[in-house]
């Protein structure tokens, strides 16, 4: 019985010592904290304007909402989710990687790999192996003129 009380006390002290999010402790969130979150969001009305620099009155209202939610202790993810529910997915700076939007992140690497693969096949068909190259092996010459001369001679061969 007593040991479990001690354990409980230890736990309570430990929890009290855990750093709590600054916003919840200090009260009023700073402009910087609001801006840090607003940077990752876009103005729902004006296209392609980030929320921290948008000058319209509506955007000022949205920043006020962020401030209020921070004061309530919400996390960045919760605030972003709230904005998505309220205003749609376009308020996020990049689409969430789910559903149809997965294509944003998958197509470029897929296209690149496909292109690289095709190019590799073409080059392999096209490349003559270096060992059968006509002429003497290249002597690493310092003089660019001599080198160019050799290249020209090789070309003419």
Q: Which of residues 65-84 bind other proteins (CB under 8 A)?
A: 65, 84
End-to-end CA distance of the chain: 97
Of 1, 13, 17, 85, which lies in the binding site for other proteins, with binding defined by CB under 8 A?
85
The counts of H helices and E strands in the chain are 7, 0
Count of positions on this chain that bind other proteins (CB under 8 A): 73
133 sits near other proteins (criterion: CB under 8 A): yes
Q: Is residue 24 part of the contact set for other proteins (CB under 8 A)? A: no
Using CB under 8 A as the binding rule, whether residue 102 contacts other proteins is answered as no
User: Cα(15)–Cα(1) distance, rounded to whole angstroms?
Assistant: 21
CB of 76 to other proteins, least distance (A): 14
Confirm or reject binding of residue 105 to other proteins (CB under 8 A). yes
- Give exposure, 36-70, as e/b (b: 16+ Cβ within 10 Å): ebbebbbbbeeeeeebbebeeeebeebbeebbebb
Residue 151 binds other proteins, judged by CB under 8 A:
yes
The reply on whether position 149 binds other proteins by CB under 8 A is: yes
Please state, in angstroms and rounded to a whole number, the distance separating the CA atoms of residues 76 and 60.
Answer: 18
Q: Which of 31, 72, 73, 102 binds other proteins (CB under 8 A)?
A: 31
């Amino acid at each position: 019985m007593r040991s479990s009380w001690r354990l409980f006390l230890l736990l309570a002290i430990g929890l009290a010592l855990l750093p709590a999010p600054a916003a919840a402790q200090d009260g009023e969130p700073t402009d910087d904290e609001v801006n840090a979150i607003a940077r990752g969001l876009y103005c729902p009305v004006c296209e392609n304007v980030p929320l921290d620099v948008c000058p319209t009155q509506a955007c000022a209202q949205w920043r006020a909402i962020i401030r209020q939610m921070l004061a309530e202790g919400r996390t960045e993810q919760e605030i972003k989710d709230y904005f998505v529910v309220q205003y749609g997915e376009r308020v996020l700076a990049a689409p969430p990687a789910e559903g149809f939007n997965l294509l944003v992140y998958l197509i470029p690497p897929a296209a690149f790999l496909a292109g690289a693969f095709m190019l590799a096949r073409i080059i392999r068909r096209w490349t003559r192996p270096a060992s059968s190259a006509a002429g003497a092996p290249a002597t690493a010459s310092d003089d660019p003129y001599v080198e160019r001369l050799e290249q020209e001679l090789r070309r003419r061969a």
